[in-house]
Structure 1
Amino acid sequence: MDARAPIEPDEARLAQRLPLLRRRFPTIEDLERRAARRIPRFAFEFLQGGAGDDGGPARNRSALRSIEIVPRYGREVRDVDTSVELFGHRYAAPIGISPIGMDGLMWPGATELFARAAQRMNIPYLVGTLATATIEDVTRRAPDVTWFQLYPLAADDHRVSFDLARRAQAAGARVLVATLDVPVRSKRPRDLRNGFVMPFRIGPRNAIDIAASPPWLGALVRRGKPAFANIVPYAGGRDPAAFVGAHVGGGFAWEVLARLREAWRGPMLVKGVLHPADAAQARSIGMDGVIVSNHGGRQFDAAPASIDVLPAIAAAVGDDMTVILDSGVTSGVDMMRALACGARSTFAGRAFMLALAAIGDDGARHMAASFIDEFTIALGQCGLRSAAEARQAPVRHATAWPRDTLGGDRP
C-alpha cells in the first residue's frame, strides 16, 4: 500500500466504546444496514454477493438457522470455558477471521485492522494471498495467531505459490491453508454490473458512489490506495491486480498439494472441502485438517451449504483430522451449531468485514467480542461448560446431506 497513517489502538477509548457498540449493533442485520450507507455500493455488493443466481450466501445462512439444539437445564454453568486448542495453541474461542479478497476496497486498512483485533482477542486470523498488507507485516502485528491462506497461482508449476508458502513459513505463520475451490473464475453478476473486476478501475458511476461515502473516503485518504501487497514482488513493476487477474486460478491438483505438504514444516489444511472423499484424500497426503467451506457462496451457485455437508465429512475422517467450518457463520449460536454438527472450530469472513464497514476501525474487535459473548450465552443456555462439551449437544439438522447420497469415493 501507499504511505498511510499508522494503525494503532487506543485501548482505553476502545474499552469504553465496545459496550456501546454491542447495544447499538447487536445483530448482523444491524451491521448490514449501516454498512450499506457507509461504503460505496460496488464495495457493499461485492461483499454481499454470491456467484451465479446469488443464492449461495442466503443458503448458508438459512441452513445454519434451521438447526435446532435442545438445551439442558439444572446444571451450574457459572464458569464457562469458551477456549479451544488448535495445533498447539489455545485460542479464546472457536472462531477465527476468514480472508476477504480485495479487503482494502471494502474498508481501507482492513488487513492490518483484522491482524490487530485477532492478536488482541486471541483468535486465529487466516490472512489471504490477496490481502492488502504483506504476510510479513501481518505476522509482526499478530505473531501468535496468524494463519496463511494460499491461493493457487498455477503458472510456471506454481513457482509463486511455493514462494508465498516459503515467505509465510519464514515470517512465522502458524498454519498454512491451501485453497481448493478456485479451479476457475466464477461469474458474479453484481460485480460485472458494477465493473468490479481485476484490475479495478474507477469509472464515473463508481466515482459517484465513492463521493457519497465520506467515511470510506476518509479512510482511503488516511491509509492510501490499497494493493495486493503480497503480489508486488512478483509483478515486475506492473499493477499487482493485473498480475493476479492473469495468474490466479488453475487450482491445486492433489499432486501439487502433496509437494506443498512436504515443503511446509508445520500444520497444514485444505480449504473448500465439500465432499467426504476429498477430506479423505487430504488425509491420505498428510494434511492435518480441512476447512469445510463453499467460499461463502461465491464460487459455485449450486454448491450445498457448508453446514449441510459438515456432518458427513466429520464422520468420514473422525478424530484423525481437525475439521473446521467456514461460510455463513454470523453469531455465537452459529458457532454452537457448527460444533454440535461435528466441527472443532469456525471461521467467519463477511461478518467481520461488515463490522469494519459499519463501524470503522473498531469493527473487528466489536465482532470478535460479540461472537465470544454470544457463544458464552449459548453454552450456558444449553447447560454446557466448555467448547469441547458443545460437540456433544443434542442437535436436529434436517437439511444435512446423508453420507450415502454424496456419491462415490473418486478422489
Structure 2
Amino acid sequence: MTGDLRRSSPRAQAWGAGSGTSPEARLRQRLPTLDDIERRARRRIPRFAFDFLEGGTGDDLNTRRNRLALDAVELVPRYGKPGPVNTEVELFGVRCAAPIGISPVGVDGIIWPGATRMFASAAGKARIPYIAGTLATATIEDVAELAGPYAWFQLYGLPADDHAVTFDLIKRAGAAGVRVLAATLDAPVRSKRPRDLRNGLVVPFRPTPKTILDVALSPPWLLALATAGTPAFRNMERYVEKPATLANTAGFVQSQIKGTFSWDVIKRMRDAWSGALVVKGVMHPEDAEQALAAGVDGILVSNHGGRQFDAAPAAIDVLPAIAARVGTRATILFDSGIRSGLDVARAIALGASGTFAGRAFLLGLGGLGERGAGYVAGLLKEELETAMGQLGAPSLDALAQLTRRHRGAFDFT
C-alpha cells in the first residue's frame, strides 16, 4: 500500500521519488540538504579555495551572526485552506520561477573553474536571476548569451578618469541585453580576511608548495581547471595595457577597483542606464532613502555575506525596517546567509521580494561540478515549496502576511 501511495502522489513524482531509482532521486537521497553538499565539496575543492568560499572577514563573526539570526526567525503556520503553492515572482518585468537568485562572487573560478559560465547556464535553464560580477571569470557578453533575460550585472567602482571604465562596463551590459544593473555599495575599502592571508590568496596570486599540494590532492578541481582554463578577470582584459596577461590584469584590478560609489555617481548611473538599477549592500533605512532619491528601482539588503565588516548586524535583522521605510517605492531584495528554502521563506515573510545566495551555489559546483548550480536551484525551490505548504501560504504574497516573531529585528528609532 505504501508503494501504491508513493506512485500515485503528485508530490512524490515532483520530487523524483516515485520509484527511488532515477538518478535525480538517488542524488536527492544522498545529498538532501546543502550541508550534505558542503561536506562533499570540502573533499573536492583545494583547502585554500574552500577557505576563500567559507570565510568572512576578521574572526568570521558576521558570517555566524547571519546564520544565527536567520535561524531565530519564527513563522506561524495557518491551516484550513490546503492547496498548491506558486513560487513564481516577477522581478523588473521578467517572470522568474522562484524568488531565488545567484549572487555575484568575485574570482568565482578559484573556487570552481568555469563557475561564471556554469552559473549563467544554470540560471537560464532554471529561470532565476544571476548577478554576474565585475570580477567574474567570463565576460558579461558571454553571461548574457547564456542566461538570457535572467542576466544581471554587478559593478564595483573604478573611479579613475571620472569612472571611464565604470561607464564603459554599463554600455557593454546594455549592448549585451542585460536587464538589471546592481551597483555595490558595501565594499568601501578592502577587508582583512585572515584565512586568505594565511593561504597566500592575494592579488596577484602566487602559488606556493602548500597550495600546489592542495591542488594535487583535489583531482576533481584539477580536472575542472584543465577543462575551463586558468581563472582570469575576463571583464577587465580590454582595459589593460597589452598584452593582457593574468599578471597585468590582476595588477589593474588591485590598483583601480575601489569597490563603492557616491550617491552622485549612482545618479549618473541612473541617467546612463535605461534598465532597472539596483544598489547592493544597503543596511540602514536612511541609506535606502538616499538610494530612492537617486532614482533606483531596487534595494538589495546585504552585508556582503559577512565578508566586509565583522561588527555589522545580520542582514536579516535590518531587512524589516528597510522594507517598511521603502514600502512600494522600490523592489526589496535580500542576500547574506541563505542556505535553504526555509531561509528564503523567512526573508520573503520579512519584506523581500527576492533573495540571492552565493556560497550555496558555489558549494553546488564544488560538490557536483557543472550540474551543481542547477541542483541547488532545484533544492532551494523544492524546500521553499515545502515551507509554503507547511505554512499554509499558497503564494509569496501570503508568505508576507504571516505572523512572525523576530526578536533580533533592528529598531532604528
Q: Counterparts in 2 of 1:115-134, with a 5 A limit? A: 115-134=120-139
Q: Counterparts of 1:10-409 in structure 2 under 5 Å?
A: 17-77=23-83, 79-236=84-241, 237-238=243-244, 239-249=248-258, 251-404=260-413
Distance in structure 1 (CA, Å) of the matches to 2:64 and 2:189: 22
What is the CA-CA distance between 1:402 and the residue it aligns to? 1.1
Is the 8 Å Cα contact of residues 82 and 387 (structure 1) preserved in structure 2? yes
Mean Cα displacement is larger for which, 249-258 or 96-105?
A: 249-258
Kept in 2, the 8 Å contact 1:154–1:250? The answer is no
Q: Percent identity?
A: 57
| Offset of residue 16 of structure 1 | 5.0
What is the alpha-carbon distance in structure 2 between the residues aligned to residue 72 and residue 300 of structure 1? Answer: 38
How far apart are the structure 2 equivalents of 1:111 and 1:244? 18
Change (3 A) 1:17 1:144: farther
SS of residue in 2 equivalent to 1:208: helix
Q: Is the 8 A contact 2:184 2:259 kept in 1?
A: no
Q: Distance in 2 between matches of 1:58 and 1:17?
A: 34
Contact 1:48 1:350 in 2 (8 A): yes
Q: Measure, in 1, the Cα distance between the counterparts of 2:27 and 2:309.
A: 35
Quick one: distance in 1 between partners of 2:110 and 2:361?
Answer: 14
Which amino acid in structure 1 is aligned with residue 235 of structure 2?
N
CA distance in 1, matches of 2:27, 2:334: 27
Aligned-partner residue type, residue 196 of structure 1: L
State the Cα RMSD in Å: 1.2
Deviation at 1:240, TM superposition (A): 1.5
Alpha-carbon distance, 1:400 to partner: 0.7
What are the ranges of 5 or more consecutive residues in structure 2 without an aligned counterpart?
Answer: 1-20
State the SS of the aligned residue for 1:177: strand
How many residues matched? 389
Structure 1, unpaired ranges of 5+: 1-14, 405-411
Normalised TM-score (structure 1): 0.93
Structure 1 position 20, deviation (Å) = 2.6
Secondary structure of 2:148's match? coil
Residue number in structure 2 paired with 1:3: none
In 2, the alpha carbon distance for the partners of 1:28 and 1:391 equals 25
Cα displacement string for residues 259-310 of structure 1 (whole angstroms, at most 9, x for unaligned residues): 0111000110100000000001000111011000000000111111100000
Q: TM-score normalised to the size of structure 2?
A: 0.93
Q: Confirm or deny: 8 A CA contact 1:151 1:178 kept in the other structure.
A: yes
Using the TM superposition, give the Cα deviation of residue 403 of structure 1 relative to its aligned residue in structure 2, in angstroms. Answer: 2.5
Regions of 4+ moved over 6 Å: none
Report the 3-state secondary structure (helix = DSSP H, G, I; strand = E; otherwise coil) of the residue aligned with 2:260. coil
Deviations 1:90-127 (A, max 9, x none): 10000000011110111011001101110001000111
Aligned 8 A contact 1:99 1:126 in 2: yes
Q: Is the 8 A contact 2:156 2:259 kept in 1?
A: no
Q: One-letter code of the match for 1:259?
A: R
Aligned letter for 2:63? P
For 1:388, give the aligned amino acid. Answer: D
Contact 1:330 1:348 in 2 (8 A): yes
